[in-house]
Amino acid sequence: MASFRFSVLVITISLVIVTAYSTLDADETIEFGYVGPKGPDKWGSLDPKFAVCADGKAQSPIDISRTKATPNNQLRALSRDYYSAGAKLVNNGFNIAVHFDSSAGTMNIDGKNYSLLQLHWHTPSEHTMDGKQLDAELQLVHKADDGSMSITGILYQVGNGDSFLGRVQKHLKELAKDKCGPNEHSEIPLGNLSTRQLKRSTRNYFRYTGSFTTPPCTENVTWIIFGKPSSMSQQQIDALKAPMEEAYKMNARPVQPDNGRPVNLHDEPKKV
Ligand SMILES: *[C@@H]1O[C@H](CO)[C@@H](O)[C@H](O)[C@H]1NC(C)=O
Ligand SMILES: *[C@@H]1O[C@H](CO)[C@@H](O)[C@H](O)[C@H]1NC(C)=O
Ligand SMILES: *[C@@H]1O[C@H](CO)[C@@H](O)[C@H](O)[C@H]1NC(C)=O
């Protein structure tokens, strides 16, 4: 009798172990979130590959202080040459993005060309300006041939509609019908998408060295933050949130310590 009980116990324990193991196995893509046990303050411990999210000394986003930024006349006007490219609208589960099939043009920084590969939105904004968080942030992700990364951040406040978002907005409705979880991915082909509206010029921008704002939080990203916010309508902000699961509708990582990193400012005088 005692031995029978013992085997039942062993079998039960094995089942518990097998169940626990297969749960881990099925969940191979480790997800991260913006609230609760997978929230930003836990990212560093969710996966060894995410360690820099917690240990990194040059993480993004940060607060951009206009008074503390250093005007730097070595910085040149932003030079961007974007063109139309095949694209798809993607729900990554943690944000909405446009992925280009091939480069949609280049941005030149210090003589080096960075190709525009994808762009995505965060609501509300991730970078803050003088402590103020705005309603949304568009991030344009560029990569140079040598692998270095540069991301342009444009902050938005509620106001007039944004014309680039206007072009993809009706497809957000289709994405919203096909809600997906953080480990899933759904996409809609957009055909040949014009990026002309993204070339909006800016007289001033901030530049600093930071990281990806989502795991694995890779550092050494050259960030360019437009000095002047843009606007999008409340309806557009709602449209960006509609396809997202409740826990990802607010998908801004909180600002990180700047650890004394310099923030440079390029400020062109007004043309007269
Ligand atoms: C995309 O559109 C542009 C003009 O808007 C055109 O020059 C280009 O050839 C098109 N590319 C494809 C692959 O259709
Ligand atoms: C960088 O991009 C510009 C604009 O597309 C192009 O004219 C230039 O030849 C490129 N430079 C290099 C080194 O690829
Ligand atoms: C960081 O990026 C710059 C170019 O932006 C590159 O020259 C440098 O080698 C990179 N440093 C590391 C540690 O990857």
Q: What is the pLDDT of residue 24?
A: 36
Minimum CA distance residue for ligand 1 atom 8: 84
What is the mean predicted confidence (pLDDT) over 219-223? 98
Ligand 3: centre distance to CA 220 (Å): 6
pLDDT tens digits for range 177-216: 876 655 567 899 999 998 888 887 788 999 999 999 999 9
CB burial of 190-217 (b: ≥16 within 10 Å; e: otherwise) equals beebebeebeeebebbbbbebbbbbbbb
- In short, whether 106's Cβ falls inside 6 Å of ligand 2 is yes
The residue to mutate among 167, 190, 192, having the most atoms of ligand 1 within 8 angstroms of its beta carbon, is 192
Atom of ligand 3 nearest to the CA of 150: 5
Ligand 2: centre distance to CA 111 (Å): 9
The residue to mutate among 84, 167, 193, 194, having the most atoms of ligand 1 within 8 angstroms of its beta carbon, is 84
- In short, whether 184's Cβ falls inside 6 Å of ligand 2 is no
Q: What is the pLDDT of residue 19?
A: 35
pTM of the model: 0.86
Sign of the alpha-carbon torsion through 2, 3, 9, 13: positive
More confident residue, 198 or 43: 43
| Tokens linked to 70 | 């250093």
**Does the structure show a pLDDT above 90 at 256?**
yes
Q: What is the pLDDT of residue 185?
A: 75
Ligand 1: centre distance to CA 85 (Å): 7
Give the Å distances, CA to CA, from 138 to 73, 144, 162, 233, 249. Answer: 26, 20, 11, 14, 15
**Does the structure show a pLDDT above 50 at 15?**
no
Q: Which residues contact 141 (CB under 8 A, 6 or more apart)?
A: 116, 117, 118, 119, 120, 149, 151
Least confident range from 9-23, 90-104, 174-188, 237-251: namely: 9-23
Task: Report residues whose beta carbon is within 6 angstroms of any ligand 3 atom.
Answer: 148, 220, 222
Task: Report residues whose beta carbon is within 6 angstroms of any ligand 1 atom.
Answer: 84, 192, 194
> What domains are there in the chain, each with its CATH number?
4-267 (3.10.200.10)
pLDDT tens digits for range 90-133: 999 999 999 999 999 999 999 999 999 999 999 999 999 999 99
Ligand 3: centre distance to CA 112 (Å): 12
**Does the structure show a pLDDT above 90 at 38?**
yes
Least confident range from 71-75, 139-143, 237-241: namely: 71-75
Q: What is the pLDDT of residue 114?
A: 97
Ligand 3: centre distance to CA 218 (Å): 12
Q: What is the pLDDT of residue 182?
A: 57
**Does the structure show a pLDDT above 70 at 16?**
no
